A and B are shown apart, each in its own frame.
Chain A
Amino acid sequence: MVYYNNRISVEFFHILTDGSGGMVFLRTLIKTYLELLGVDIPDFEGAFPLEQEPDPNEWKDAFPITGEGPAGTFSDKPALQLRGMLPLEQPNRVLHYNLDTDALLGISRSLGGTATGLLLGVILQACRDACRFTPRTRKKLQIQLPVNMRKFYPVKTLRNFSMYTVIRMHPAEVTTPAEMMPELMRQIREGTAQEPLEATMRTSRHLVRWLRFVPLSIKRPIAYFIYGKLGDGVFTTTLSNLGPISLPEEMAPYVDKFDFVLGPPVENRAICSVCSYSGKTVLTVLKNTHLTTFEDALYEHLKAVGLEPYMEGSG
């Protein structure tokens, strides 16, 4: 946990929690901080009162909730990677594209999709511009799209309870967000359905069960290699959408905005995350290469659909 000027940054280990669990911690932290400064804030959903005894369900592993059934697979075909050398110092740069939420939602709806669909379309365009391909290239652009499993199960756990789906498209098929929207929405709808996600969850549970007796010293290097070559290598990039963040009106005057940065990848040159608060949507890009093609293209394509990004970031 660090701070810089008026910004609080909290880093979470994904094994312990996911974005939703992390948000509960951050909201509780901000609430407590403001209370210590003398602001009167009532208890609200999404933050814990400090005097309250923790409920054991808050740290329960929710993955076994799916029960037995068909299992899915983690393996996938290698994805097309963006161009750019991987520097020794990673991550290389953090960029925040500040967008107007109403404008984003308005444009998305006019194209017959959602904000996630529109951002996926723009990111696919930027990926196409930032990778090397020919019409004969077999590899596709594959974007990892994490899904919060709490929308299917009303669990109280703050532990990691997320899965993911993959949005695939050949770079030659990437046109404009308007043209791609029906296909993107179809892939999002099918990929984020309960059944395929449950199947992947079962595989994950089986994997953990099989690996629990293997010593950490053996698991660690193998896991790192597999993550780099299979986990990261099967995605071009990631778009993790935390969704809208809400705070009670007593806290609102003290909080300007939220942003959300993913942990650095191994092979991917850039990964994206997005969250919105109080009319402001922040699309964050974590860069792993000095080459600026991706972020430049993303900026231009966001402008082309009618959004005016205000750029912030690291030097």
Chain B
Amino acid sequence: MNLESWPIRHLTEHAAIALAGLFGLLIVASVLVKVLSLLHPARDYTELRQRVNSWWLMVAIFSVALMAPSTISLLFFGLISFLALKEYLTIIPTRRADRRVLFWAYLAIPFQYYWVSQAWFGMFIIFIPVYMFLLIPLRMILIGETDGFLKAVGTLHWGLMITVFSLSHLAFLLVLPVERNPIGGGAGLVLFAMFLTQFNDVMQFVWGKLFGHHKIIPQVSPKKTWAGFVGGVMTTTMLAGFVGPWLTPLVGWESWFAGLLIGIAGFIGDVTISAVKRDLGIKDSGNLIPGHGGILDRVDSLTYTAPLFFHYLYYLHY
């Protein structure tokens, strides 16, 4: 089919097929849960069912966001950053004196996504690591509360980096020059990065459930096993090897390596947020997504995979 006649401007044929494939997987997952609960009527599959139902909703919202005009797609990613930052600031200890500073931190979100919308790479890449990094302490000094200053300024900037800077790389994939990736377009890149990251999460969980014995990092995340990690990374690498050339400009070994990168980085992102939660003494980061926990519980892996995949791709092809 030629691209001119394709009805949805922002989605190439390959991206649309990939999106349809996602819904296919969801159907498989729903059927699987149904079969499991019929096979083992005594067991409680409520959480698993909730999880799959939430996946349906998330994929549906995500699909609409991808098919919509690009402003709406960017608003969608901005909203994710906002929810993630809000959740982060809700669970960490903050100082009353810093109310206004937190407000400034929130303001970084519209600015960051505005740079994305302008495809202004230079500003996008330094705004939070440099300007917000220098501005937040300044705003705190103007208020003048020095008790707990270092902790406050450190935790706030770390949160901005994780929830806004890192995640906004997904949005920047959408505005990369389309002519470098005519088969997948921006949406193809986002689908590749997000789908493989979430797929990797699920695969690490499944491999761990089936064959997991040896704990990989018991002090941080007692349920994670070597089998889960290795099995997940291998499955993700394989899938990336097949899907990569079809959705992204990555060719041959580049795709396989992208999968390896996403598999390993996804794991690190996951356990990093686990470490934060363990430090704070909480199990879930929130209650926003039934069966999953909070939004940070869902985007934890993406906070690592999004920037790493982006810069890998950018270095090779843009």
A and B: bona fide binding partners: no
Binding site for A on B (CB under 8 A): none
